Amino acid sequence: MARLSLRNVKKQFKDTKVLHGIDLDIGDREFVVFVGPSGCGKSTLLRLIAGLDPITEGQFHLNGQLMNDVPPSKRGIAMVFQSYALYPHMDVYENMAFGVRLMGLKQTEIDARIDEAANMLRLGELLKRKPRELSGGQRQRVAIGRALVRKPDVFLLDEPLSNLDAALRSDVRLEIARLHRDIGGTMIYVTHDQVEAMTLADKIVVMNLGRIEQVGSPRTLYETPANTFVATFIGSPR
């Protein structure tokens, strides 16, 4: 189970204020999409949730437990980056096994999980290949597989399609939607692409300049945007 709550979450780098007090609740198994222009703080917010950067002020609770000082590896949260970040010298199998080995899983359990993830993401034939022998879409599927084998309660995906060409993009997008249906974890997905947001999200969080402008279903945002910024960003007729 995974319920997240952010209360008055602020982030400041030296004298630059990036997040100005984020309040947000995310329910179990929800597919939440953060949208907003470049530089508005989407990646920063994901990094705070993952624990890769400390929260300056405010609270983040996961299932009622305060997470502010919990290290990333103890949060049950896995993050997929825009840039894949695969280890170039390791094959696909090793790339997926590396993180779970550190978790101390037994070899049989590791193999079972990789098998399952490889089937789900159609990577079965590619386990012995190095990243440089893969297409962009295949690399991104490996990056997703690497998160999947950790069996996290929460998946964070930061613009996972932005390095793919148009054809692959719809391919991997469908894969992510199917994954969410099959495994049922909570997904938090960052994009600046309205189409991705409208097709994937249960709930869209529209951000601008370090603040949340509106939270709602794709339909709510389209039909009743809170302001001109949301209307323009979502592309609604108003």
Binding site for ligand ADP (CB under 6 A): 13, 16, 18, 36, 38-44
Q: Determine the residue with CB nearest Mg ion.
A: 43
Beta carbon nearer to Mg ion, 34 or 222: 34
Number of residues that bind Mg ion (CB under 5 A): 1
Span 8-47, contacts to Mg ion by CB under 5 A: 43
* Separation in Å, CA 171 to CA 79, 121, 192: 20, 11, 18
CB of 6 to ligand ADP, least distance (A): 15
Which residues make beta-bridge pairs with 33?
A: 189, 204
* Separation in Å, CA 39 to CA 45, 54, 150: 11, 19, 30
Binding partner selected for residue 16 from ligand ADP, Mg ion, none, CB under the kind-specific 5 to 8 Å limit: ligand ADP
Beta carbon nearer to ligand ADP, 140 or 208: 208
Instruction: Assess 95 for contact with Mg ion (CB under 5 A).
Output: no
* Residue 71 burial (C-beta neighbours within 10 Å; 0-12, 13-18, 19+): exposed
Binding partner selected for residue 78 from Mg ion, ligand ADP, none, CB under the kind-specific 5 to 8 Å limit: none
Beta carbon nearer to Mg ion, 43 or 140: 43
Beta carbon nearer to Mg ion, 86 or 207: 207
CB of 156 to ligand ADP, least distance (A): 12
Beta carbon nearer to ligand ADP, 36 or 131: 36
Binding partner selected for residue 38 from Mg ion, ligand ADP, none, CB under the kind-specific 5 to 8 Å limit: ligand ADP
